[in-house]
Amino acid sequence: VNVPEKEDMKNLTFWVWPESLWAPISFTKTYLDEKGFDENDPEYFSLKGERVRSKSEIILMDIFDSYPVPCKYEFPLELFNGKIIHPDFTLLNVRERKEYRWEHLGRADDPSYMKYNVGRLNDLIRSGYYPGVNLILSFETSDRPLDVRVVHNLINEYLLS
């Protein structure tokens, strides 16, 4: 599939999975470049060198990379209202050829953070992304860190079944 050229990015490889919106590494990198990180953002990288926004996202990305589950970080998604958001992870259950969006709510005890994310989750639901169907959620608070056992359980339930 032809990929639009963007300034110094030419001759990109574009992967298309049949019957899926799954998209390619170079296409994702172009979107991340457009979206960008603020120059003052901390620099967090997964073991494979993927830049993420938090220590918990490093843990999640490294766990995803340990499974035979294709994963894209902050891949763009158009909502029902035309707004483009970047859910934390887009993952593929290869056997079922089914995409899932994974949102990690890492500051669930912060009222302003949760106010924003309730609106975001409502927009995802209005766009056809339902928790436990095609939307996976993980949570943590300042005194209850990410439980990797729960992450492994969710991966086994939704992405390896």
Partners of 44 in beta bridges:
52
Tens-level pLDDT at each residue, the chain (161 residues): 455 666 666 655 555 544 444 455 555 555 555 557 777 888 999 999 999 999 999 999 999 999 999 999 999 999 999 999 999 999 999 999 999 999 999 999 999 999 999 999 999 999 999 999 999 999 999 999 999 999 999 999 999 98
Looking at the DSSP bridge assignments, the partners of residue 52 are 44
How many whole angstroms separate alpha carbon 138 and alpha carbon 148?
10
CA distances from 32 to 92, 95, 111 (A): 19, 28, 28
How far, rounded to the nearest angstrom, does the alpha carbon of residue 52 sit from its chain's CA centroid?
10
Instruction: Say whether pTM exceeds 0.75.
Output: yes
